Amino acid sequence: MKLLEVKGLKAFYRQTQALYGVDFELEEGSITTILGANGAGKTTTLRSISRMVRTEGEIKFDGQDITGLSTEKVAALGIAHVPEGRGTFVRQSVEENLHLGAYTRKNKNDVANDIDRVYAYFPRLMERRQQQAGTLSGGEQQMLAIGRALMLRPRLMLLDEPSFGLAPLIVQEIYEIMARIRDQEKASMLLVEQNANIALNLADQAYLLETGHVVMSGESEVLRNDENVRKVYLGY
Amino acid sequence: MDLFLQLTLAGLAIGSVYACVALAVVMIYQATDHFNFAQGEMAMFSTFVAWALYQVTGSIWLSFLIAVALSFIAGIIIERVIVKPVENAPIFNQIIVFIGLLMIFNNLAGWFWEHTTKTLPSLFPKHGIDSTLISTHNLGVILFTLLILGVTFCFFKFTKVGLAMRAAAANPDSARLVGVSVGWMLALGWGLASAIGAVGGVLVAPIVFLEPNMMSGVLLYGFAGALLGGVNSPGGAVAGGLMVGVLENWARQYVPGGSELGLTFALILIVGVLMFKPAGLFGRVIIKRV
Amino acid sequence: MNRPNPITRKLAVSFAMLVFVGIALMFVASEYTAYQVTTALAYGIAILGLNILTGYNGQFSIGHSAFFAAGAYVSAILITFAGWHPYATLPIAAAVTFSMGFLFGFPALRLEGLYLALATFALAVATPQILKVDALEHWTGGVQGLFFDKPDPIFAGLSVDHSLYLVTWLVFVVLMVGAWMLLHSRSGRAIMAIRDNPIAASTMGINLALYKTTTFGISAMLAGVGGAFFALANSFVSPDTFNFFIAVYLLVGSVVGGIVSIPGALLGGLFYVFGQEYAEEFSNLSEMIPPPWVTFGVLLILMMYFAPFGIWGAIERGWARLKR
């Protein structure tokens, strides 16, 4: 089943257009990645889904048009966005950050269980549960951001460059956990990355974005083996 | 020694009122990065509403509670209707809107209730305790303020809405992404600030007399308290408010010319503290990793 | 030889036009109107100071009533106790308030944005109290304040109010031109660079402390000169004339006129005096209409919604659209 369908998406920052008619879709339970260089429009695509920029075109989540909703309503539908820069609530504690992730949920017991589940994925967060989140390292903040997204019990996770600014070992650790999350939670993810190599390893489907246009799409395998992609984005 | 104690306790009482105003100011500051210059006038107006209700109901507690509730609602409405349109405007424009509000409330009060001073009875009984050190009203003010502050603290620390309000203030974009309606959190903040201001107004009215300009001095002391304690620390703001009240009372007695220069003293305090501790005495320097 | 460039020519034309308008107005204005405009100009001069400080240098002040008061009192004291000619007191008022502003500029260096606004706010609130202090009563006249005569006409046949109006107008025009030249000079670019990006400015070798304190001094000086003219126009000073609200009016005039502009200062002063008068007339229409300050408050809020860059900003934008 198609969980997310995007057709003819155009996005604007004031007068400046950032996306020029982007189409893509995402199957429930799968991971789709959007690759591209700086300024290609990857972040804008995610921000369009979360209704943080002005757009034209169609965005359907689970068959429902969401373009008329506010950001907080989109979140309430079960779309968890891990934003660029991680969006940590720096002055709140780690645990408060996780509670905020579950803001739209009512059942307190479920939330408590989910917090334990997040700690199981990220034992490092458990150690720092009472610490001010702003004092965490970059990698820990990225883990916290993913944990916060999980707290929503999301039907779809939007991940904006989880590898950004992190050491390769940490990136590897985070991607391993993401793979486990996919397997155990049957989570659907829309993953935006500059690090094409690692994203293609994880994703089922991939789209290549250049200056606001989709220039290529297909199974991750297909893109990985494409000569151009290999030269430009994978570097071998 | 008795005199010193008396001064200190009376200072704590008036300081409690400053603490209320300081807390209201800090609350809006944390949510929006603005100082609401109309906070004092809004509190004054609420106090007049309590007074008007008292004329009708004859019960000060009932009037007080209704006035606080009305102030809460009014605060929300003011945010939604008047402040929201300039949310993204330059800072000067927002200040001017606050000043406009200040003028409106100040003069509406004068228009409705005239500029003669009124007396509002104390919330607390006349002959509760028998002490030369402190009046029952002042003792009541101190205890009641502590109670209010405790409740406010618990609200922010332990409730979901309180946490969401803090999150919305600290990082609005992120808060939206987890489903918090930031606009309503701001409105709620205004409502709470306005309600707490009303509490301060009703507490101070028996001490300073009820008239349209009664809060201008209190607001300045409230600002001084907020800055002294640290504008990003509600607890600090409260401590700051209490300290300003006590210091002011001491200054009036022990500093030559202190009785006329109360406000000047507050000025020196503000500038002095800001020079050496820009984040206030209890202000947290936010640690941030990039 | 320097060829006059178009900008200098524009300035010269504006200057000539303003002087001409000022003189022309004098013939049609009644004595009372002349007095009102003088008051508006006095505020306007102070607002000019505020525009330079806040609009161009990015430092807040809601305490300019303190410098306004200081200028007024310096003039009043020199006239009353030293018997000086009223106009002769102006340079002294300017010098004193410049020094005050320059000195206040140092603590201001450590304060940013709203903190500075608050410190200056406190200054504004404290001013009337300081003026009332017993120890200074001999000089300030305490609560009563000081009374003196308005300056004699500068030439025969002119009324006292018209004469003062003319002098104020000419001084204002000269100060506006001075401000224009300052802001379009090398120093002016430094002043604005500090507002836009203090760190970048300092890496380019701009001495932040010197520029900021000097700008504060100049701004306070303009407020002081405005205050001195205000005192002359009213032939009277008292502590409660210079309450915190004067500081607010100055800020209001500044934002309403257009805070990042020079002509805005003139418009702001006029708006303040005449807006108040119209609000008053409006309130007198019926018992049901709230008092003038309520109307004025509503007017202010509406201005912020519909003309966020002030009157001059709206004029400039309208003009730019017409030219397109």
Task: Of C62, C65, C59, give the one whose Cα is nearest residue C46.
Answer: C65
Question: Is B126's Cβ below 8 Å from some Cβ in A?
Answer: no
Q: CA A42, CA B79: separation in Å to the nearest integer? A: 35
Instruction: Name chain B contacts of C119, Cβ cutoff 8 Å.
Output: 267, 270-271, 274
pLDDT at residue A112, as a whole number: 93
Tell me the residues of chain B between 179 and 218 that have a Cβ less than 8 Å away from chain A.
179-182
B61: CATH: 1.10.3470
Which of C64, C127, C244, C294 would best serve as a mutation to test chain B binding (most B beta carbons within 10 A)? C294
The per-residue pLDDT for range A115-140, each reduced to its tens digit, is 999 999 999 999 999 999 999 999 99
pLDDT at residue C216, as a whole number: 96
Contacts of C113 (CB under 8 A, 6+ apart): B91, C60
User: Is pLDDT of C2 > 70?
Assistant: no
Instruction: Name chain B contacts of A53, Cβ cutoff 8 Å.
Output: none
Contacts of C30 (CB under 8 A, 6+ apart): none
Interchain contact A/B (3 or more Cβ pairs less than 8 Å): yes
Neighbouring C-alpha atoms within 13 Å toward the C-beta of A122? 28
* Measured distance between the N- and C-terminal CA atoms of chain B, rounded to whole angstroms: 54
Mean pLDDT calculated for residue range C314-321: 88
Distance from CA of A127 to the nearest CA of B (A): 19
* Measured distance between the N- and C-terminal CA atoms of chain C, rounded to whole angstroms: 36
User: If pLDDT is split at 50, 70 and 90, which confidence band does A149 have?
Assistant: very high
Q: Could you tell me whether strands A156-160 and A79-82 are parallel, antiparallel, or unpaired per DSSP bridges?
A: parallel
Beta strands per DSSP E along chain A: 2-13, 16-27, 31-36, 54-61, 64-65, 79-82, 156-160, 188-193, 205-210, 213-219
The per-residue pLDDT for range A169-182, each reduced to its tens digit, is 999 999 999 999 99
User: Is pLDDT of B288 > 60?
Assistant: no
Q: How many CB atoms lie within 10 A of CB A129?
A: 14
Question: Is B115's Cβ below 8 Å from some Cβ in C?
Answer: no
Residue ranges of the domains in chain C?
9-239
Neighbouring chains of A at 3+ CB pairs under 8 Å are B
Range of the domain at B149: 2-276
Task: Of A105, A85, A86, A74, give the one whose Cα is nearest residue A4.
Answer: A74
Q: CA B107, CA B45: separation in Å to the nearest integer? A: 10
What element of type H or E holds B57?
Answer: helix B39-57
Mean pLDDT calculated for residue range C271-277: 86
Instruction: Name chain A contacts of B284, Cβ cutoff 8 Å.
Output: 91
Residues B171, A96: C-beta atoms closer than 8 Å: no
The per-residue pLDDT for range A192-219, each reduced to its tens digit, is 998 888 999 999 999 999 999 999 999 9
User: If pLDDT is split at 50, 70 and 90, which confidence band does B199 have?
Assistant: very high
pLDDT at residue B257, as a whole number: 66
pLDDT at residue B266, as a whole number: 67
Q: Give Dmax (Cα) for chain A.
A: 51
What element of type H or E holds C192?
Answer: helix C186-196
C174 alpha carbon, distance to own chain's centre:
14
Contact C26, C211 (CB under 8 A): no
Q: CA A65, CA A91: separation in Å to the nearest integer? A: 35
Residues A103, B287: C-beta atoms closer than 8 Å: no
Contact A147, A99 (CB under 8 A): no
Residues B271, C107: C-beta atoms closer than 8 Å: yes
The average confidence (pLDDT) of chain C is 88
Contact B238, B149 (CB under 8 A): yes
In a domain, B288, yes or no: no
Task: Of C188, C214, C244, C223, give the one whose Cα is nearest residue C103.
Answer: C214
Mean pLDDT calculated for residue range A86-108: 93
CA angle B166, A13, C309 (to 5 degrees): 80
Smallest Cβ distance to B173: which of A87, A132, A138? A87
pLDDT at residue B222, as a whole number: 86
pLDDT at residue B289, as a whole number: 39
Instruction: Name chain B contacts of A141, Cβ cutoff 8 Å.
Output: 289
Residues C122, B107: C-beta atoms closer than 8 Å: no
Mean pLDDT calculated for residue range B30-41: 81
Contact B244, B18 (CB under 8 A): yes
Helix axes B91-113 and C244-257, enclosed angle (nearest 10): 130
Distance from CA of A97 to the nearest CA of B (A): 9
Q: CA C69, CA B133: separation in Å to the nearest integer? A: 41
Residues B100, C125: C-beta atoms closer than 8 Å: no
Question: Is B172's Cβ below 8 Å from some Cβ in A?
Answer: no
DSSP B83-113: IGGGTTS-HHHHHHHHHHHHHHHHHHHHHHH
Question: Is A138's Cβ below 8 Å from some Cβ in B?
Answer: yes
Residue of chain B with shortest Cα separation from C132:
B260
Neighbouring chains of C at 3+ CB pairs under 8 Å are B
Q: How many CB atoms lie within 10 A of CB A10?
A: 16
Q: CA A95, CA A130: separation in Å to the nearest integer? A: 6
User: Is pLDDT of A39 > 80?
Assistant: yes
Q: CA A220, CA A205: separation in Å to the nearest integer? A: 5
Contact B37, B95 (CB under 8 A): yes
Which residue has better confidence, C42 or B169? C42
Q: CA A49, CA A56: separation in Å to the nearest integer? A: 11
Q: How many CB atoms lie within 10 A of CB B158?
A: 9
Question: Which letter does DSSP use for residue C242 in this model?
Answer: G
pLDDT at residue C75, as a whole number: 95
Q: CA B233, CA B223: separation in Å to the nearest integer? A: 13
Contact A99, A111 (CB under 8 A): yes
Instruction: Name chain C contacts of B223, Cβ cutoff 8 Å.
Output: 118, 121-122
Neighbour-count burial for B119-156, b at 16+ CB within 10 Å, e otherwise = ebebbbeeeeeeeeebbbbbbbbbebbeebbeebeeeb
Q: Helix, strand, or coil here: A61?
A: strand
Task: Of C40, C118, C103, give the one whose Cα is nearest residue C67.
Answer: C103
Q: How many residues does chain B have?
A: 290
Smallest Cβ distance to C122: which of B93, B108, B267? B267
For the beta sheet containing A31-36, the strands, ordered from the edge strand earlier in sequence to the opposite edge, are A79-82, A156-160, A188-193, A31-36, A205-210, A213-219
Mean pLDDT calculated for residue range C186-194: 93
Structurally, chain B folds into a number of domains equal to 1
Contacts of A190 (CB under 8 A, 6+ apart): A4, A26, A31, A32, A33, A34, A46, A49, A156, A157, A158, A159
User: If pLDDT is split at 50, 70 and 90, which confidence band does C1 have?
Assistant: very low
In a domain, B173, yes or no: yes
**Per-residue tokens: C267:** 């418009």
Instruction: Name chain A contacts of B174, Cβ cutoff 8 Å.
Output: 83, 87-89
pLDDT at residue B221, as a whole number: 84
Q: CA A158, CA A71: separation in Å to the nearest integer? A: 13
Distance from CA of B159 to the nearest CA of A (A): 11
**Per-residue tokens: C280:** 């008053």
pLDDT at residue C164, as a whole number: 93
Instruction: Name chain A contacts of B177, Cβ cutoff 8 Å.
Output: 50, 71, 75, 80-81, 83, 87
The per-residue pLDDT for range C23-50, each reduced to its tens digit, is 888 888 888 999 999 999 999 999 999 9
Q: Which residues pair with A207 in a beta bridge?
A: A34, A217
